Structure 1
Amino acid sequence: MLGYYRTKTSACADGILADFRQRPQSDPNTLIGFLAQLFRTSQPERERILNAETSDQLKTVDVVSLYRAGLPDQAEAFAKANNLSALADKVRTTHLPTLDAVKPSVPADNDLLVGAFMASGEPAFIQRILASYSDADDGMIGDGLRIGFMMSKFGPTLAAKGRKPVIMQVACEKYQCKSDPAKLLRVLTLATALWSLQSLSQQDDQIKSTINNFFAGDPRLKTLLFVEQNAFANYLTMIVGLAGLPDNPILSRSAEMYEKLQPANEAFAPPSNIKK
């Protein structure tokens, strides 16, 4: 999908859809963002794809994509023609924002905007993902970056081999997720933004330059990123050290403090400065 915007060929689009048909359990949000951008910018491709679709699963994706594209009339017509009017009614009543109005507040929003970038190559979609950092406070940004780094390295458990997966439990308690889930979702939106964009930047120079320019242009965010990058590097060093010295109290304490979202300057302070 990431290569589509360079060629914008029908064959590439068909390959993307064929791949999704083979993996029907895949999260559809990136594809929805991709199709929404494609549908609103190319009527010939929109009509070709909609007329050719045979998968019931992808037809439901098409309905949502048409709404996200800001094409409600086309969505309702397509839904009616494919016995999906109940789905269209449900989507319409939820008032899903169109691509132009999406401001990431949950991780799925990041996926939508990534998909839209893949269809267009427009860096504005990546900039909108990154903009979530601009109006977050320092604590949320630091935790989001830390969780994002752990996610990138260790996957969904957020835990190195042999370490207890405690970060999400700590984050839930810190942000009172049971009484106010929106706060934790905001942190996870920041975390998944880092995780997904960092991964994609290894394959796309435009994404890489957009990320670099964004953080370089904001001294506050540049400093927070620098702090968490160094902290993560220190944490990885601690993990390697613990593999050889599993009972070392200083290494164990520092690693545990990092995993429990303690400030980096406390987690990796000299032993004499570590708070009791």
Structure 2
Amino acid sequence: MSRNPVSVRFPKLTAARVAIAPMIVQLCPGAAFAAGDGCMASYYRAKSPACVDDTLAQLRQMAANRQAEPSTIIGFLAELFRTSPRERERILGAEPSDYVKSVEVVSLYRAGLPDEAQKFAATNNLSSLSDKLRAARIAPLDAVKPSSIPSDNDLLIGAYMASGDPALIRRILDNYASADDAMVSHGLRVGFMMSKFGPGLAAKGRDAVMAKALCEKYECKTDQTKFLRVMTLGTALWSLQSLSAQDEGIKKTLSEFFSRDARLKNLFGAEQAAFGNYMTAIMLVSTFRKDRTGTDQDRTFELMSKSASIYENLGSGNDAFEPFQGLKK
């Protein structure tokens, strides 16, 4: 798949650059927008033009502080442009913002409408952008299959918001089906941690070591592809779990995907149990960090600190649970 030349630029991770967590925050700007309270997330139910106008108004406000391509909105607009010529004409004919016009050029290419994109770009002094996108052979929505580009998740989520088509969500999740067991488990772990603690992947009071452990495990300082695939898997789970709280279609698709495949069902169950144990461990660590008054509490603190550290450093769920056995002795 061709990379989009105006998408998020992932910084090279050299030996001198170990600030992995800030980079992870950059991996999912679209997901953060998608999980917000705006009407875009439920647009497909009523397909109100007023909702589109409100979404574009929010995009104009983002223009001054943009640091990455708004992939969710691009996917949303691309699906609208692809399926609703009348709405496409209305949107393109009424836009005052040069920044939003540039987003619309990208969206037209993502919609698989290169001729329309070139005409719109020429009319709005954006031919240089159009030329770059055409030369890069930017993939249309129908060809986007997330693997190691986290923003591809956001493109398909945006398209789902415009259409309500669960096949788009399944295409995001198919990345899990083709990943090996280790990547599936680590992607799920990242997703669970993001859902609870945000992109820093660390509970309050804990060192942010998981991202560094993932970088080392997948040798991201020499080749980011495998590391970014785990992040793509993790941000997919994070985004879809967040959205599923208010979208029954996503909730159903997510549940069915992991339940219908025995391998994925087992791996999901194991990571879910491991995360539950981790939450218990850090709760006990927090409880006894300052209020230890005896040997038993000291021992509980030490064992649970060990358990949490094993989990954060990518140890298996069984290994991380082993210190719990010491509480029974």
Q: Which whole-Å deviations, capped at 9, do the CAs of 1:165-186 have from their partners, x for residues lacking one?
A: 0111110010001212110111
Counterpart for residue 306 of structure 2 = 253
Residue equivalent to 2:78: 36
1:48 aligned onto 2:48:
no
Q: Specify which of 148, 154, 172 is matched with residue 111 of structure 1.
A: 154
Taking structure 1 as reference, are residues 163 and 270 closer, same or farther at Cα in structure 2, changes over 3 Å only?
closer
Structure 1 position 175 matched with structure 2 position 175: no
Number of residue pairs aligned between Structure 1 and Structure 2: 273
- Confirm or deny: 8 A CA contact 2:304 2:324 kept in the other structure: no
Deviations 1:212-249 (A, max 9, x none): 11111101101111111111111111111001223622
Greater displacement, 198-207 / 151-160: 151-160
1:200 aligns with 2:243: yes
Aligned to 1:219: 262
Partner of 1:70 in structure 2? 112
Q: TM-score, normalised by structure 1?
A: 0.96
| Distance in 1 separating the partners of 2:257 and 2:191 | 17
Per the alignment, residue 147 of structure 1 pairs with 190
Pick which of 242-251 and 139-148 moved more: 242-251
Q: Report deviation, 1:10.
A: 1.1
Q: Which residue number corresponds to residue 120 of structure 1?
A: 163
Work out the CA distance in 1 between the residues paired with 2:126 and 2:42. Answer: 31
The alpha-carbon deviation at position 142 of structure 1 amounts to 0.4
The answer for the alignment partner of 2:27 in structure 1 is none
Task: Give the number of the structure with larger relative contact order, counting CA–CA contacts within 8 Å between residues 6 or more apart.
Answer: 2
Cα distance, 1:23 vs structure 2: 2.3
Distance 2:255 2:187 in 1: 18
Spell out, residue by residue over 1:27-55, the C-alpha distance to the aligned partner (whole angstroms, 9 max, x if none): 51000000000001010100110010111
What is the SS of the residue equivalent to 1:2?
helix
CA contact (8 A) 2:60 2:97 kept: yes
Name the residue aligned to 1:92: 134
Q: Matches of 1:82 and 1:128 in 2, distance apart? A: 34
Query: CA RMSD for the aligned pairs?
Result: 1.2
1:272 deviation in Å?
6.5
Cα separation, 1, equivalents of 2:237 and 2:199: 14
Unaligned stretches of 5+ in structure 2? 1-39, 290-297
In structure 2, the partner of 1:13 is 52
Q: Distance in 2 between the 1:95 and 1:229 partners?
A: 40
Instruction: Report the AA paired with residue 311 of structure 2.
Output: Y
Within 2, Cα distance between the matches of 1:243 and 1:176?
Answer: 32
Identity %: 59
**1:137 partner amino acid:** D
Q: Tell me, which stretches of 5 or more residues in structure 1 are unaligned?
A: none
Alignment-derived partner of residue 262 in structure 1: 315
